[in-house]
A and B are shown apart, each in its own frame.
Chain A
Amino acid sequence: MKQVTIVSGKGGTGKTTITASFAALARRVVVADCDVDAAVLHLLLDPQVISEQEFKGSKLASIDTVRCVECGLCQRACRFGAIKGLEIDPVLCEGCGVCAHVCPVGAISLRERIAGRLFISETRFGPMSHARLYAAEANSGKLVALVRHEARRLADREGLDIILADGPPGIGCPVIASLTGVDIAIIVTEPTMSGFHDLRRILSLARHFKTTSSVIVNMWDINQENTRRISQFCEQEGTKVLARIPFDPKVTEAMVAGKSVVEYSPDSTASAEIRVAWDGARDLLGVGSGRRE
């Protein structure tokens, strides 16, 4: 089983557009949406939910105001500033349990909070594991790990050999959870100062976890000079640039139509280059190449 995760560092560079297109080109794969707090892959893949379950995230302290003697020990012990008087601020509370431990009258307990839902679905390109973290909830890394766990189960069950995961932006906990143990990370960048800056950071994160990575430059023609610099940088770093996708209004049109761009407009310039990227990714994975020039 081979696992590919699409990441970017910077948001909005085209991760989901590329993931959906790869799924369409692969025809049958397991798809995992690891961007659990702003998931949008379902808008292109239209998954039909087969089963779902609750996700329990971090805990939340709660004060029994009848038992509380207002000694203030909990407030002093809480390092997150989450207790003010008799109130727990659910945003600041990290569920560590220190307040419950120091309370001399046992007035504080930790409760589990339902932080989201996990879905197993079927799409036109194969089974999909995805999730929804509820508004303002924490612990997205744990939910990502769960989404990937379910994706591996689906791959085993259906005998599919590729898991294609759409990752979140950034380099923090949900990204780390999306990258650990994958065969290749595909980093989607754009030729902007921000895109380049963020590429360096996500690339060193992939290195840190000893993940093989390769790069796609999206909207490369917005700034050809920067594209050249990014390609040069990748060469120095020994990272393969799989493709350079041009800016193409068909990408947004496809999104509005709820389709991947390779389905919506197979003859577009963006689609042609996405096919080149997918062939390159298959080569790296060693699952047989597609066409060659």
Chain B
Amino acid sequence: MNSHEPRMTISIASGKGGTGKTTVAVNMALSLEKDVQLLDCDVEEPNAHLFIRPRIDEARPVYLPTPKIDERLCDHCGKCSEFCEFHAIAVVGNKAMIFSELCHGCGGCVLVCPKKAIVEENRQVGIVKKGVMGNIELVYGELNVGEPMSVPVIREVKMSIDPNRTTIIDAPPGTSCPVIESIHGTDYCLLVSEPTPFGLHDLKLMVEVLKEIKIPFGVVVNRAGIGDRKIYDYCRAENIPILLEIPFDRRIAELYSRGILFTTETPEWKNRFRSLLSNIMERVGAPTASGSRKGFVKET
């Protein structure tokens, strides 16, 4: 730990999908001139790499410990199946079956088996990739297609958080577990919304979430100019700061569609993203050390 530079972890979330989380995350990362980490935690549909296009230096599989039953030892007592809260083991007659996609990897079945007939083996559920482009270190996860649980992959992506650098986390859409996992432990959450009834509705849900898990937050209004003014009324009434507005502009949409960041085409926006970040730093009091952050304690 040699850094005394202010650093922090900012998450970017939205509730509603397609409001511009990745646009804000990537443009903000690119606008900073110093080294920054960008973590794409939307492991179901990661997109940040399409804009950053880094050279991939590292690709690490993500495993989940999943039970395997030794049929020679198993006497089909059914205790494992009884214990499993996720219905990942069924014992029917003389056969014990594992539904590995439902397994959370808690290890409970191994603990309760009286015959020691269960061992765990690692099953790959996704992959985490790392690469660098300019000042940005990008870390992103990909959930294997057909796997339902994204949380273990998100945890693995977040293990890469470097406590000495500013880290920007691009969260998935929604308000449930993958989002909470992504924003948990971050210093500040930026909510990207749009001035439409759908945008406002889901913004309110996210505000509820952030109050519940006690993370300070502010709003970015994207596509300003479309829809109505209700998002502004809501933010004013609730005393929620609107930190940036990005106007609706067909040119921005077209650049986005080609995977081009609008800050590279319109440099004045770089300054706006830089001041957005310093504004957030002031609001959270810019911690210089990250302290202990939560992480998945891996059994080895």
Q: Which residues of A contact B (CB under 8 A)?
A: 8-13, 16, 36-38, 40, 43, 58-59, 77, 79-81, 89, 91-92, 94-98, 101-102, 110, 133, 135-141, 168-176, 190-195, 197-198, 201-202, 204-205, 208-209, 222-223, 226, 247, 249, 252, 255-256, 258
**Whole-angstrom distance from the CB of B155 to the nearest CB of chain A?**
9
Q: Give per-residue flags for B178-196: 1 if the beta carbon is below 8 A from chain A beta carbons, else 0.
A: 1111001000000000001
Q: Is the C-beta of B256 less than 8 angstroms from some C-beta in chain A?
A: yes
Q: Is the C-beta of B127 less than 8 angstroms from some C-beta in chain A?
A: no
Known: A43-B198, A79-B105, A171-B44. 12 other contacts (CB 8 A): A38-B205, A40-B201, A81-B297, A98-B108, A169-B174, A170-B42, A172-B150, A172-B178, A194-B50, A205-B146, A208-B145, A223-B258
**Whole-angstrom distance from the CB of B102 to the nearest CB of chain A?**
9
Contacts of A8 in B (CB 8 A): 17
Contacts of A192 in B (CB 8 A): 256-259
Chain A binder among B67-75, B208-216, B263-271, B272-280: B208-216
Whether the pair B45, A173 counts as a contact (CB closer than 8 A) is no
Counting contact residues on chain B (CB < 8 A from A), the size range is: 35 or more
Whether the pair A96, B108 counts as a contact (CB closer than 8 A) is yes
CA distance A38 to B201 in the complex (A): 8
CA distance A203 to B85 in the complex (A): 31
CA distance A91 to B214 in the complex (A): 12
List the 7 closest pairs (A to B, CB-CB), nearest first: A11-B17, A12-B18, A96-B106, A173-B148, A170-B44, A193-B259, A223-B257
CA distance A226 to B108 in the complex (A): 49
Whether the pair A94, B212 counts as a contact (CB closer than 8 A) is no
Closest residue of chain B to A177 (Cβ to Cβ) is B148
**Whole-angstrom distance from the CB of A118 to the nearest CB of chain B?**
15
Q: Is the C-beta of B86 less than 8 angstroms from some C-beta in chain A?
A: yes
Q: Give per-residue flags for B71-98: 1 if the beta carbon is below 8 A from chain A beta carbons, else 0.
A: 0000000000001011000000000000
**Whole-angstrom distance from the CB of A182 to the nearest CB of chain B?**
16
Q: B201 touches which one: A43, A92, A102, A172 (CB < 8 A)?
A: A43
Contacts of B202 in A (CB 8 A): 38, 40
Whether the pair A255, B17 counts as a contact (CB closer than 8 A) is no
A91-B213, A97-B83, A223-B258 known; A258-B197 Cβ under 8 A: yes
CA distance A137 to B179 in the complex (A): 10
Contacts of B180 in A (CB 8 A): 91, 136, 138
Whether the pair A208, B175 counts as a contact (CB closer than 8 A) is no
Contacts of B299 in A (CB 8 A): 79
CB-defined A-B contacts under 8 Å, sample of 25 = A10-B18, A11-B17, A12-B18, A37-B175, A38-B16, A38-B173, A81-B296, A96-B86, A96-B104, A98-B107, A136-B209, A170-B150, A171-B145, A172-B44, A175-B44, A191-B257, A192-B259, A193-B259, A194-B45, A198-B45, A201-B145, A223-B258, A226-B257, A252-B196, A255-B196
Closest residue of chain A to B101 (Cβ to Cβ) is A176
Q: B85 touches which one: A59, A191, A193 (CB < 8 A)?
A: A59
Q: A11 touches which one: B18, B149, B196, B258 (CB < 8 A)?
A: B18
Whether the pair B257, A255 counts as a contact (CB closer than 8 A) is no
Contacts of B111 in A (CB 8 A): 77, 98, 101-102
Closest residue of chain B to A110 (Cβ to Cβ) is B85
Whether the pair A193, B50 counts as a contact (CB closer than 8 A) is yes
Q: Is the C-beta of B226 less than 8 angstroms from some C-beta in chain A?
A: yes
Closest residue of chain B to A202 (Cβ to Cβ) is B45
Whether the pair B107, A201 counts as a contact (CB closer than 8 A) is no
Q: Which residues, 164 to 179 on B, are CB-close (under 8 Å) to A?
A: 172-179
Q: Which residues, 19 to 63 on B, are CB-close (under 8 Å) to A?
A: 19, 22, 42, 44-45, 47, 50-51
